[in-house]
Every structure is written in structure tokens, then in C-alpha cells.
Amino acid sequence: MIAIIDYGAGNLRSVQKGFEKNGADVLITDDPDEIRRADGVVLPGVGAFGDCYAGIAARGLTQVVRDSVSAGKPFLGICVGLQLLFTESEEGGSYPGFDIIHGPVRRFPRSDARKVPHMGWNQIEIVRPECPLFDGVESGSFVYFVHSYYVDPTAHDVIAVVTDYGVTFCSAIWRDTLFGVQFHPEKSQQVGLRILGNFTKIVREYGQTKG
């Protein structure tokens, strides 16, 4: 079972539908025990970084997020859910994140040539083609973005995918069974469904070895 963490962020149902189209057993929940029992965990995110972290803390879910990652359970952060894994964000000041992946979350530089937020379809360049989350996904594929901030990992070996938007930024990370994507796979049509299907496969394989 895949648990989608509900901490008051939007877009949960569309993420759930994306997984269900891949035949996944998926549950939206804010119950720590249900999250702990799950074979895979998804941390989505829509909204401001500080508000999202506060929503997690208010529901007593901070430790279960940390425990899920440290246990080696397949974990996927989406959009702000990816950013929350990092050390801190400069959105609205300076707000701490989980610091599971070291590095800041930065705002796109102001430019007359490019609007902020970065919104719409853009290409991804897969720099670690062995990453199982992108199995069967071609480098150069288009996915859907909505964000004004991007992650800047201190260790570049966690970067799985990059995208250009005036700056070349990390648009997906991978470390062991920890994954994160800046774009919205649930809004990225067939490419996004493939990515969600790949995560479903990773979770099933983990569940089989655990059981």
C-alpha cells in the first residue's frame, strides 16, 4: 500500500488517481500508524514551504516522515514535497526543512525574459539514466511545472534530472529508495503516469522483499 500524506495541502486526489491508474493500492491519510504500515510513502505539496512544513508538524507527522526515509521505505516527494526534504527555503524569509538532503531551496532569479513562477510544460534531461523512477522515460520528455523556487543540492550525486529555465536546476533527486520531483507527474499525462507507475513497481518490490 502507498500512503499519500495529508497535511492540508491541495491536489491530493489527482495524485491518488494517477497511482490508481497504475493499479496501485493507495490511501490519503494523516494517521501516523497507517503511514508506518505502508510499503511506500508520497509527500505531495502545493503552497508555501513554511505553511506546508507547519501543516506536517501540526498533525504530528514530522517524525513519521523521518522514520519512513531512514527505514529505507520507498519515498516520493512531489513539488513542495521535494523541497521540504532539503535544509531550508528562502521562500518568505528563511524556513527550515527536514534536512534529509543537504542544500537550500532558492528562488529563480528575476528576469525580463522568463516569468516567475515557472509554470507550464518544460523538458527534463535525465543525468542518471539508471534511476528506476525514470525507467522507460526519454530524456527530453516534457512534464508540467508550477513553482517559483528550486532545490540546490550540496552533493550533486543525488541529482537525477535537470531542467533549464534561465538556470539549469535540479528537477529530480534520487538516493537509494528516496526520490523527489519538482514537477507534477499527476499533471504530466503519459510521461507522468509512467513515473507514478515506476514508483508503484518500486513499492511492490520493496513490499515483496519485506514480506
Q: Over the stretch 88-131, which tens digit does the pLDDT of each residue have?
A: 999 988 899 999 999 999 999 988 788 999 999 999 999 999 99
Q: What percent of the chain has pLDDT over 70?
A: 99
Does an H or E element contain 196, and which?
Answer: helix 189-210
Q: What percent of the chain has pLDDT over 90?
A: 90
Q: 137 and 191 in contact (C-beta within 8 Å)?
A: yes
Q: 193 and 144 in contact (C-beta within 8 Å)?
A: no
pTM: 0.97
Residues acting as catalytic residues: 79, 184, 186
Find residue 175's DSSP bridge partners: 178
The three grid cell numbers given for residue 16, joined into one nine-digit string: 491518488
Q: 75 and 40 in contact (C-beta within 8 Å)?
A: yes
Identify the pLDDT of residue 110.
84
Does the domain at 2-210 match CATH 3.40.50.880? Answer given as yes
pLDDT digits (tens, 9 = 90+) for 67-98: 999 999 999 999 999 999 999 999 988 899 99
**pLDDT grade for 211, boundaries at 50, 70 and 90:** low
pLDDT digits (tens, 9 = 90+) for 144-201: 999 999 999 999 999 999 999 999 999 999 999 999 999 999 999 999 999 999 999 9
